[in-house]
Amino acid sequence: MYDVVIIGSGASGGAVAYTLCKAGYKVAVLEKGRLVKKEEFSKDELAYCRRDLVTPSLFDEYHTIEEKVDGKWVSTPTYESGWSFWNGNIVGGSSNLMSGMLHRLHPDDFRLKSKYGEIKGANVVDWPISYEELEPYYALAEELVGISGHYESHAYEPKRSTPNFTQPPTKENRVVKLIDKACHSLGVTPLVTPRAVLSQTKPGRDACYYSNFCGSYGCSSGAKGSSREALLKPALATGNLTLLTNTHVKYLHTKSKDEVSYAVVVDTITGKEKQIEGKIFVVAAQAHESARLLLNSANKHHPEGLGNSSGELGKNLIFSGGGSGQGELHKESLKEIKFDELMTTGLFINRTVLDWYFIDHWWDGKFKGGSVEFMFEHQNIISRARKNNYENGKLVWGEALGERVVKRMTEQKNIRFEIFNDWLPNDNCFVSLDPTHKDKYGMPVGKLRVEGHPQDVKVGKYIAKKCEKILEEMGAKNIYSGVSSSPPQNLVAGGCRFGDDPKTSVLNKYCQSHDVKNLFVADASFMPTGGSVAYTWTIYANAFRVADHILERLKQV
């Protein structure tokens, strides 16, 4: 029997495992995927972006998605739609594949209801913890994971307990000169993006080598702050971690009402089942899958799902609202910097705008806004070559196509912005069990109903217009943006909301089940609201906080 059994090896699972193993406890991490060592990672666009090398086949494992069509809810399996809510089923999970643009939540993100009041059609609540309670763990994650950057005081940049980052920013492309100048001329403050990528070597990890392919790809230098590299590797070195790969958890078994006794798992290669026993169980399988696992663990003690006395399990699923846009910088019209400098590969843009995180202007009104990240378009060669190859509605062929592709690759560079704003929790965004569809292990798949709140799109469009003006000021051409209510498939949270009241939440403030005393949920499931930045730094920080509470529990056993 293990002291702690952790289901999932991503950002949250890694943080909990690291803390407990360093303290001398015996921990098992159950990971459905395989271990991919850093030396194995490549920049193969076909393998990672077109053939899903590190995610399950949608014909074996899938979800069903409920969307409203002509006023009716219609359910479609993802093997038909092509939507994939699997994000890196390997050791370290999706933290291997992130771009690493990490931000802390603002203190007001923890008290959204208190600041803005009720929002019609949204289930907004305050968090049971404050920014001040989480801040020390943000600092801890910054050090252990390895986040590079430069702190600059800003109205919407949270205060820190340390004066600056332990590592300077990664190297930047000269295009930042254009962005900074354009922002300043428009009265906007450009900030350096904190990034979970080492700019300097660290014991056991090399600095970034600027491959030009970061997001969507694993890092072969160890510079990226993945759970695998930053946390699980040192946890294994303690001798206290048992890493069980190719191990899929079907359900958790409870002999009594208030305690999990073992996990029923299946070997994904042999198909054999077995039981894994532990004193404490930590679910960290990614929000929608964590909720699905607990729903699939229903029994006579918990007929509506494990730890679901509130009826809230799976509800208030959230994604990230917002959208994106881009513009083209052309060789013949480029100013301020040399074209060769713009075309230098591998260097980051590292620019964030937080000026519109909260909107409180008498001419615009008062509402929660969002953050903006500037970057180059994704560097995948195939996807870049396929863009803009139509003329008058017809596909360009032959020599004309070749000339167009060459010109696109050698005489222009696309600048992109991504907007992150709150996806407001609502009654029509949740995960439940599909009554008819099952995965290859015989378990009901997750049914995700996805509907955004109208305010999400309104905020995204508001910010997009301002971003377009920055691109215009830079001299970009063919500028456009797109904001919709369609959820991103790699940023999902909620479903196991934490709170002080067991009647309205699944977990307590320590992410411990209200109903089952030895059950914790450490991934983004706990979040009642998502803030207006990517979740990863908050996931890391909160998991370290949860791990400290588990340590105290173990000391009392």
Check pLDDT > 80 for residue 442: yes
Q: What is the CA radius of gyration of the chain?
A: 23
Give 151-191 pLDDT, tens digit per residue.
Answer: 999 999 999 999 999 999 999 999 999 999 999 999 999 99
Q: What is the pLDDT of residue 488?
A: 87
CA distance 507 to 9: 21
Whether the CB-CB separation of 193 and 355 falls below 8 Å is answered with: no
User: Which residues are CB-contacts of 442 (< 8 A; sequence separation ≥ 6)?
Assistant: 250
Q: Which whole number is the average pLDDT over 237-265?
A: 96
Top pLDDT among 486 and 27 is at 27
Tell me the β-bridge partners of 348: 172
Residue 169, burial from CB neighbour count under 10 angstroms (0-12, 13-18, 19+): middle
Q: Smallest Cα–Cα separation from 91: which of 18, 34, 52?
A: 34
Q: What is the pLDDT of residue 246?
A: 98
CA distance 74 to 231: 41
> With the C-alpha atoms ordered 221, 225, 227, 231, is the resulting torsion angle positive or negative?
positive
Q: Smallest Cα–Cα separation from 183: which of 206, 154, 208?
A: 154
User: Which residues are CB-contacts of 49 (< 8 A; sequence separation ≥ 6)?
Assistant: 216, 380, 383
Helix axes 536-556, 131-141, angle to 10 degrees: 100
Give me the helices (H) in 324-420, please: 339-342, 381-386, 398-410
Tell me the β-bridge partners of 358: 368
Check pLDDT > 80 for residue 557: no
CA distance 26 to 31: 16
CA distance 193 to 350: 5
Whether the CB-CB separation of 3 and 528 falls below 8 Å is answered with: no
Q: What is the pLDDT of residue 361?
A: 86
Helix axes 536-556, 11-22, angle to 10 degrees: 40
How far apart, in Å, do the first and last CA atoms of the chain sit? 14
SS3 state at 394: strand
Q: Smallest Cα–Cα separation from 104: which of 193, 189, 176?
A: 193
Residue type, 473: E
Whether the CB-CB separation of 359 and 367 falls below 8 Å is answered with: yes
SS3 state at 116: helix
Q: What is the pLDDT of residue 16?
A: 98
DSSP state of 38: G
Q: Which domains does the chain have, with CATH numbers?
A: 2-38+56-147+157-556 (3.50.50.60)
Using a pLDDT cut of 70, give the percent of the chain over it: 100
CA dihedral 78, 249, 225, 536 (to 10 degrees): 60
Strand ranges in 314-383 using DSSP code E only, listed in sequence order:
320-330, 351-353, 358-361, 365-368, 370-376
Q: What is the pLDDT of residue 116?
A: 87
SS3 state at 79: helix
Whether the CB-CB separation of 539 and 12 falls below 8 Å is answered with: yes
Give 271-294 pLDDT, tens digit per residue.
Answer: 999 999 999 999 999 999 999 999
Split at pLDDT 50, 70, 90, the class of 330 is very high
CA distance 102 to 90: 21
Give 30-69 pLDDT, tens digit per residue.
Answer: 999 999 999 999 999 988 888 888 999 999 999 999 999 9
Whether the CB-CB separation of 500 and 128 falls below 8 Å is answered with: yes
H or E element at residue 468: helix 454-474
Give 346-405 pLDDT, tens digit per residue.
Answer: 999 999 999 999 998 888 888 999 999 999 999 998 988 888 888 888 889 999 999 999
Instruction: Show the tokens assigned to 264.
Output: 């029923």
Among 103-107, 254-258, 317-321, 329-333, which stretch is predicted with the lowest mean pLDDT? 254-258
Averaged pLDDT of the chain: 96
Check pLDDT > 90 for residue 506: yes
DSSP letter for each residue of 61-77: S--EEEEEETTEEEEEE
Q: What is the pLDDT of residue 256?
A: 87
Split at pLDDT 50, 70, 90, the class of 128 is very high
DSSP letter for each residue of 492-504: -B-SS-B-S-TTT
β-pairing, 430-438 vs 444-449, is antiparallel
Split at pLDDT 50, 70, 90, the class of 306 is very high
Give 217-234 pLDDT, tens digit per residue.
Answer: 999 999 999 999 999 999
